[in-house]
Amino acid sequence: MKISKKAITLNVGLVLMGSAVFAQSLNDAKKAIDAEQYQKATSMLKTLVNSQASNGDNFYNLGLVYLRTGYIDSARAVFTKGTTADPKNASNFAGLGQADLLSNNATSAKTNFDKAVSVAPKDYKTYLAIGKAYLAQDKPSEDVSKPDFANAITNLTKADELDAKDKDAEVFISLGDAYALQKKNSEAIGPYFRVADIDPTNRRAGTQVGKMYKEARSFPEGEAELNKVIAADANYGPAYRELGELYLQWSSFGTDKEKAAKGVELYKKYMDLTDKSLES
């Protein structure tokens, strides 16, 4: 049977288009996680897990959403499925280690991190996932250990070295977070500023810079940074939350009740831009 060049071109185009749609869908899901739209991200990732059952990144990101929203057992189940579906993807082993840390099982966490490294020792994503896992305990309580900054920075630095072309902004965001969580703002600012060179559409780094100014009580500077983020993307919810927090703190140092009222309105805006879930 003779097949026309036009038909071949069309078929190839459909295949490429389908690949692009799936790739974009994972990217969209990650953006939803970053924007703290957890219900939306969960729905998208469940669809991806079913339609791309051999892609370990889908399982990993779904597991991360479960961890962020407090469902450790669900996260562990998803990560375990990910290790089976895509055994060469180390991220799910790192995810299991993160679940272990949140369950105060450092021994099991180390075993899973070692497994991740053995699976993909030259992939920067391995060390990025492990570094993020050590940072994930950023709300210490009696039941959860504090972040392990030394191990986090060691692994994130290794990820930076392996990502020689600096193609992943998440490496620098995580490095910035590692220092910012220790109130080492001068060390954090460099990695955060580096993000804009790699991914100009990223809003997390600018929001974090504004947050650091807020925590240093440099309110006008923080306000300016957060307003820049909002001007660039009016639908990025976390920037409104941080700006609302800034105005509420700023108002507590004076008698400007207008700033407190602005803070409340910004919290409402944040809720409108997320999924109004319990986590938000």
- Kindly report, residue by residue over 155-169, the tens digit of the pLDDT: 999 999 999 899 999
Predicted pLDDT of residue 68: 93
DSSP of the chain, one letter per residue?
Answer: ----HHHHHHHHHHHHHHHHHHHHHHHHHHHHHHTT-HHHHHHHHHHHHHH-TT-HHHHHHHHHHHHHTT-HHHHHHHHHHHHHH-TT-THHHHHHHHHHHHTT-HHHHHHHHHHHHHH-TT-HHHHHHHHHHHH---S--SSSPPP-HHHHHHHHHHHHHHSTT---HHHHHHHHHHHHTTT-HHHHHHHHHHHHHH-TT--HHHHHHHHHHHHTT-HHHHHHHHHHHHHH-TT-HHHHHHHHHHHHHHHTTSS-HHHHHHHHHHHHHHHHHTT--S--
pLDDT, mean of residues 182-208: 96
Residue 85 in this model has a pLDDT that exceeds 80? yes
Rounded to an integer, the average pLDDT of 178-204 is 95
What integer pLDDT is reported at residue 11 of this predicted model? 45
Query: How far, rounded to the nearest angstrom, does the alpha carbon of residue 167 sit from its chain's CA centroid?
Result: 16
pLDDT band at residue 253 under the 50/70/90 scheme: confident
The alpha-carbon radius of gyration of the chain (Å, integer) is: 21
Whole-number pLDDT of residue 77: 98
Cα–Cα–Cα angle for 250, 253, 259, rounded to 5 degrees:
40
The rounded percent of the chain whose pLDDT value lies above 90 is 82
Q: How confident is the model at residue 41 (pLDDT cuts 50, 70, 90)?
A: very high
pTM of the model as a whole:
0.87
More confident residue, 142 or 241: 241
Looking at the predicted structure, is the pLDDT value of residue 205 above 50? yes
The pLDDT, as a whole number, for residue 10 is 40
Tokens 């923080």 map to which residue? 222
143 phi, psi to nearest 5 deg: -100, -10
CA distances from 266 to 213, 222, 270 (A): 18, 15, 6
Label residue 18 by pLDDT band (50, 70, 90): very low
Q: What is the pLDDT of residue 82?
A: 98
Residue 171 confidence (pLDDT): 98
